[in-house]
Chain A
Amino acid sequence: MKKSENIYKQLSKQLSDDEIVDSYVFNDDSLSDAEQVLADKEFRELRMKKLKEMTDAERLFGNLMRIKYRILDYFDSAKYDEVFSFSNQLREYSKIIGRSNKDFANDLDVHHTKLSRLINGKDSPSIELMYRLGEHSKGELPAHYWWRLHSKELEYKIITDLEKRMSESQRVTNSIQIRA
């Protein structure tokens, strides 16, 4: 008896098919070697056809989800990662949409030099821009994602910019008295 059939028979003693599907995925090995070669060939052809026939919109969706889920995973981590700075993610997004910098700037109603400065990390984003990016991505990268990218970066800068901290602390007098 084939291994998968044996497994299925064992599981079926205690579980319904629905319960098996709810708890297991295992490969069917009921085909002969020759049948398996044909099945693999058929699958590969279907997969390649699917890839060939993919529309630009489907490719864009796949790329957008890649960016989205990487960002969400980043939010789950405590550390700041420069790859996920606002400017770097804006650059990623501008790459996948396949539009010129000028067209993209026009979509967002900002000047293209302003967009270049944002992408190059030379300018800070406004909340208004974050809303526009949320709308531009059809809500897949909503304004608050952009805000969190920016705020994690700001938090990191505030913690690590010792020079700024020193210079600002010199301007403070009469700080409060506390005892632990």
Chain B
Amino acid sequence: MALKDKKSGKTLRSIVSRVVEADYKLISESDEFSFDWNEEVENEVFKIYLRDQSDNILGLLSIIDYPDELRIHLNLLEVGKTNIGQTKKIDNIAGCLIAVACKISFDRNYFGFVSLKPKTRLIPLYKEKYGFDQYGRLLAVDGDSSNQLIKKYLHDEEE
């Protein structure tokens, strides 16, 4: 997956997997995450980490499946503090996690449809950065836009 070392620009191999019960304790004890991830336990929660560093979670993603709307909703996404802002060491963590949701959406026959419900003032930035479109008060990607995120962040065939 296309995580990048910010300094060298080098691609870093990473793994995304489901968060298991034991992870929640590690997450809540860690200083890396501010949100209460125990509140997400009923949802599908994923973690991303570098290959061979499974105990160092770089980011977390919580999604909700709405099968009657053929939709995956991004309920919560958080990048670990070490990789936020100007001092971050690894780039693209959030992009990779959003792309994971897009891939799940294709896999479940939802045509790549993924929604999120951001604060109004952040809407233009999510649209610009990830190609989301507005659906009333929510944002969503699907089809080719969703596929572009997967290609950019998960399956860069040029590499």
Q: Which residue numbers of A lie inside 8 Å of B, CB to CB?
A: 4-5, 7-8, 10, 14-15, 17-28, 30-31, 39, 42-44, 46-48, 50-51, 54, 58-59, 61-63, 65-66, 69-70, 72
Contact = CB atoms under 8 A, between A and B. Distances in A.
B113 A27 contact: no
A63 B78 CA distance: 30
A42 B103 contact: no
Nearest to B135: A46
**CB-CB nearest 10 A-B residue pairs:** A62-B111, A25-B77, A42-B136, A23-B79, A39-B137, A21-B125, A23-B84, A65-B106, A28-B119, A46-B135
Contacts, number: 115
A66 B107 contact: yes
B126 interface: yes
Nearest to A4: B119
B136 A24 contact: no
Nearest to B128: A21
Nearest to B155: A72
Contacts of A39: 136-138
Interface in B87-124: 93-94, 98, 103, 106-107, 109-113, 115-122
25 contacts: A7-B35, A8-B119, A17-B121, A17-B122, A19-B84, A19-B85, A21-B94, A21-B122, A22-B94, A23-B79, A24-B78, A28-B117, A28-B119, A28-B137, A30-B119, A43-B136, A43-B138, A46-B135, A47-B70, A47-B140, A48-B69, A58-B143, A65-B112, A69-B106, A72-B155
B150 interface: yes
A18 B125 contact: yes
Interface residues on B, range: 35 or more
Given A24-B79, A43-B137, A65-B147, A54 B71 contact: no
Nearest to B108: A66
B116 A25 contact: yes
Nearest to A11: B34
Interface SS of chain B? mixed
A10 B78 CA distance: 14
A145 to B, nearest CB: 11
Given A44-B69, A72-B155, A20 B112 contact: no
Contacts of A18: 125
Given A46-B136, A62-B112, A69-B106, 12 more contacts: A22-B84, A22-B129, A23-B84, A23-B94, A25-B76, A25-B98, A25-B116, A27-B75, A42-B137, A50-B113, A61-B144, A69-B150
B57 interface: no
A50 B77 CA distance: 26
Given A4-B119, A27-B76, A47 B106 contact: no
B72 to A, nearest CB: 12
A72 B107 CA distance: 12
A69 B103 contact: yes
Contacts of B135: 43, 46-47
